[in-house]
Amino acid sequence: MRQFFSTRQLAHAPLRELHNGGFTDYAETPARADAIRAGIGATEDPADHGTAAIQAVHTLDYLDFLQAAPMRWAEAGRPGDVIGYVWPVVGRRPLTFARIDAMVGQFSFDAATPLAATTWDAAYWSAQTALSALDAVLSGDKAALGLCRPPGHHAGADYMGGYCYLNSAAIVAQAAIDAGKTRVAILDIDYHHGNGTQDIFYDRSDVFYASVHADPLTDYPFYWGHADETGEGEAAGTTLNLPLPQGATLAPFRQAQATALEAIAAFGPDLLVISFGADTWEGDPISHFKLTTADYAVLARDIAACRWPSVILTEGGYAVGALGDNVASFVSGFQS
C-alpha cells in the first residue's frame, strides 16, 4: 500500500493544552508521527495540490485566521501559542473582529487546540498527504494511507478544535466528489466523534458519515455524536452515530463497525474514506476503550472485505510507544 507523509507536518509542536482545568503537556505531539513512520515503514512525500481542495471545504475567513492569528497574538503581546478563552455559545454571527481573543473564539470550539506560527504549514501538508493518498486510489490502487498529523476530524468548515485545524477526511471526500465520484462514505473509527466531519456534510446526501465512538454523554466532544443526530433536510439518514460505553472491547466495537458497514453498503459508495484513530487502544492515556494491537487487523479486514476503494487517514492515538504497531496492524489487515 502506498503511504504518504511530509516532514513539514512535524513543525507544529504546541507545548501545552488546557485539559480538565489545568495546563498539561500537549498530547498531539510530532513524536506521534515519528512513531507511526517507524511502525509502517517508508512513506512517499505528497504532491502539492495547492489550496483549491482546502477551500472547497473551509471558509476563506477561517483559512486567513489560521495563517494570521499567530502574528496577531504576538502583536497583542501574548506569550506562547494562540489559545482562546471565550466562545459565542448562543450562536455565531459573521462579525469581523480585530481583537485576537474574539477571533480565536469565533474560529474554534475548545481550548485544547493551540495555534502557532508553525501550524498552518503542518496542517496544509497533512491535507496534501491525504490528497496524495486519494490520488493513488483514484488512479486504481485499492487502498492508500495518509499519515495525517495534525489530525482533522474535529475541524469544521470555519473552526478548529480537538487538535484539528484542516479536516483532511472532508477535504478528501469533497475532492473525490469534485473528481467525479457521485457517492462517498466516511467511516470514522477514532475514539472521539468526528464532529467537524459530521457538521461539514450534515446536509449533504452525497456523503455518508458513519462513526463508532465513545458516548458523548461521558466523553469529548460531548455536544455532538449522539445517536439521534442523523442528518438534516434531504440528507436525513446519511449520518449514523454509534456511541459505545467506556470500556468497550473488540466484540462490541466490531459489531458497531459492522452496523456502520451495512449502512454504508446500503448507501452504495464509490469510495470510502476511513478516519482511523488508534486512541481506541487499551493503553491510550486520554481515552477509555480496550482494543488490542491485534484487534486493528481484524477491524481492517472487515472493512477491506467490503471492497470499496479506500483512503485511510490517521486521526488520534496518544500512546506513542504503541502507536506505530497499532497503525501497522490496521494497515496489515487491509492488505491481507
165 binds ligand Q9C (CB under 6 A): no
Q: How many CB atoms lie within 10 A of CB 50?
A: 11
Residues numbered 206-225 forming contacts with ligand Q9C, rule: CB under 6 A: 220
Of the residues 32, 192, 213, 290, which one makes contact with ligand Q9C according to CB under 6 A:
192
Of the residues 105, 146, 162, 231, which one makes contact with ligand Q9C according to CB under 6 A:
162
105 binds Zn ion (CB under 5 A): no
Residue 195 or 310: which CB sits closer to ligand Q9C? 195
Cell reading at 249: 472491547
- Nearest approach, Cβ of residue 266 and ligand Q9C (Å): 28
Residue 163 or 208: which CB sits closer to ligand Q9C? 163
Distance, CA of 35 to CA of 322 (rounded, Å): 8
Q: How many CB atoms lie within 10 A of CB 21?
A: 6
Residue 177 or 291: which CB sits closer to ligand Q9C? 291
Distance, CA of 309 to CA of 49 (rounded, Å): 21
- Nearest approach, Cβ of residue 28 and ligand Q9C (Å): 7
Give the binding range for ligand Q9C (CB under 6 A) out of 5-13, 57-65, 158-166, 229-237.
158-166
Instruction: Name the pairing type of β-strands 16-19 and 22-25.
Output: antiparallel
192 binds Zn ion (CB under 5 A): yes
Contact between 172 and 185 under an 8 Å Cβ cutoff? The reply is no
Residue 177 or 286: which CB sits closer to ligand Q9C? 286
Strand ranges of the sheet holding 310-314, from the earlier edge strand across to the other edge: 2-4, 143-146, 310-314, 271-276, 184-188, 207-214, 239-244
Residue nearest to Zn ion (CB): 316
39 binds ligand Q9C (CB under 6 A): no
Query: Could you tell me if residue 249 is left (phi over 0), alpha (psi between -120 and 50 degrees) or otherwise beta?
Result: beta
Residue 4 or 163: which CB sits closer to ligand Q9C? 163
190 binds ligand Q9C (CB under 6 A): yes
Residue 154 or 181: which CB sits closer to ligand Q9C? 154
Q: Quick one: what does residue 319 bind among ligand Q9C, Zn ion, none, with the CB cut-off 5 to 8 Å set by partner type?
A: none
Per-residue binding letters, 280-309, with ligand Q9C (x by CB under 6 A): ------x-----------------------
Q: Which of 49, 153, 154, 193 is catalytic?
A: 154
19 binds ligand Q9C (CB under 6 A): yes
154 noted as active-site residue: yes
Q: Tell the residue number behind the cell numbers 439518514, with chain if given.
A: 237
Torsion of CA 330, 32, 224, 57, to 10 degrees: -90
Q: Where are the beta strands (DSSP E) in the chain?
A: 2-4, 16-19, 22-25, 143-146, 184-188, 207-214, 239-244, 271-276, 310-314
279 binds Zn ion (CB under 5 A): yes
Distance, CA of 111 to CA of 242 (rounded, Å): 26
Distance, CA of 78 to CA of 180 (rounded, Å): 46
Residues in contact with ligand Q9C by CB under 6 A are 19-20, 112, 151, 154, 162-164, 190, 192, 220, 277, 279, 286, 315-316
Q: Known catalytic residues?
A: 154
Residues in contact with Zn ion by CB under 5 A are 190-192, 277, 279, 316
